[in-house]
Amino acid sequence: MKKIIYIENEIKKNERVNNILSKYSDYEAVYIEKYTEVFNKKNQSFNLQKTNPSIIIAKKNKNFLNKIPTKYSIGNSRNFYFSYMYNCPFDCKYCFLQGHYNSANYVIFINYEDYFAEIKKINLKFNNEKITIFSGYDCDSLAYDSYTGFVEQAITFFGKQKNIELELRTKSTLVKPLMKKLEDNVVVAFSFTPSRFSNVYEKGVPSVDKRIQSLKTLVKLGWKIGLRFDPFIVYEGWKKDYLELFSNLFRVIPNRLIHSVTYGNLRYPLSQFKKIYRQNPTEKLFFNLKKNNSLYEDDHRKKISNFCMQELSKYVSQNIIFQNF
């Protein structure tokens, strides 16, 4: 099927635009003034667009970095995230993006240098503090990199910075951009749910086994690894499944390369949850949340926290286990 690719006029001659276009064999280019003309309009349907998303190539002009609340830290005192892309090629049933945006089209911002300039400013402003910059909030950090080429440039940039680290969060197995160069202040953070759950609810995501194989490849190269069990899902048989998952993961990662481990229950801002529930009113995954206005009930949250701290601390120090509730 022909891919529709929207391109902002201001950047239509940009080399990165041409590189992205060269990856598509059959496409129609549509030129626009601003990406907001075609993205996230009120009458758009996320679920409908998800079946065949268009590409929007744009230049971001503001809000290159956003603060993250301290409670979501993985150890550093200052935390920010950036989004060089909106939306994700994977289709996880629980993904918050379906409540966050009306549109499932992919927006790719190509002015990477402006992001890096903003990160430099933040680093200078807080030059005596440790800073974490997170990638993978509005998109998967690696899944679309064969089109964008962002990761290799980001690794080169962060390798020259002090007192600052980058987290690349992913469910992808496309680790090729990480094969060329190792940087000590870059963490590759893999998100996992158990295989039995993932096979049903994470459409398009590589299997847990394949992700573990990619993780092993990075371990051999010496990359620091983050493990993310967020969202942590409660369902029939969850304890057995998570115990098996923990065992399979920690046996292949040397303790010295485990940067951090985080877990957090399934949760949404109420406005997002209402939107998601309207689109998926029969989805059993959301029934427990519906009872308590977009959050697991207290006993569920307590059960998850107790289980995770007890089991994860068998493998790593509690000092690198962080709860995101």
CA proximity to 109, closest of 14, 211, 237? 14
Per-residue confidence in pLDDT tens, the chain, 325 aa: 799 999 999 999 999 999 999 999 999 999 999 999 999 998 899 999 999 999 999 999 999 999 997 778 898 989 999 999 999 999 999 999 999 999 999 999 999 999 999 999 999 999 889 999 999 999 999 999 999 999 999 999 999 998 999 999 999 999 999 999 999 999 999 999 999 999 999 999 999 999 999 999 999 999 999 999 999 999 999 999 999 999 999 999 999 999 999 999 999 988 999 999 988 889 988 887 877 777 788 888 899 999 999 999 999 999 999 998 8
Question: What pLDDT score was predicted for residue 77?
Answer: 87
Question: What pLDDT score was predicted for residue 90?
Answer: 97
CA proximity to 135, closest of 99, 191, 61, 189? 189
Question: What pLDDT score was predicted for residue 291?
Answer: 72
| 86 contacts 54 by C-beta, under 8 angstroms | no
CA proximity to 134, closest of 253, 269, 262? 262
Tokens of 182: 């190792």
| 21 contacts 56 by C-beta, under 8 angstroms | no
Element (H, E) at 24: none
Helix (H, G, I), strand (E, B) or coil at 100: helix
Q: Within a 10 A sphere around the Cβ of 237, how many other Cβ atoms? A: 10
Tokens of 38: 């075609």
Q: What is the CATH number of the domain that holds 252?
A: 3.80.30.30
Neighbour-count burial for 158-170, b at 16+ CB within 10 Å, e otherwise: beebeebbbbbbb
The count of structural domains within the chain is 1
Within 8 A by CB and 6+ apart from 97, the residues are: 46, 87, 88, 104, 138
CA proximity to 264, closest of 315, 207, 312? 312
Alpha-carbon distance of 5 to 54, in angstroms, equals: 6
Alpha-carbon distance of 142 to 139, in angstroms, equals: 9
CA atoms within 13 A on the CB side of 7: 20
Question: What pLDDT score was predicted for residue 1?
Answer: 79
Alpha-carbon distance of 279 to 27, in angstroms, equals: 30
Tokens of 57: 């190539």
Question: What pLDDT score was predicted for residue 292?
Answer: 75
Per DSSP, the chain holds a count of helices (H) and strands (E) of: 12, 15
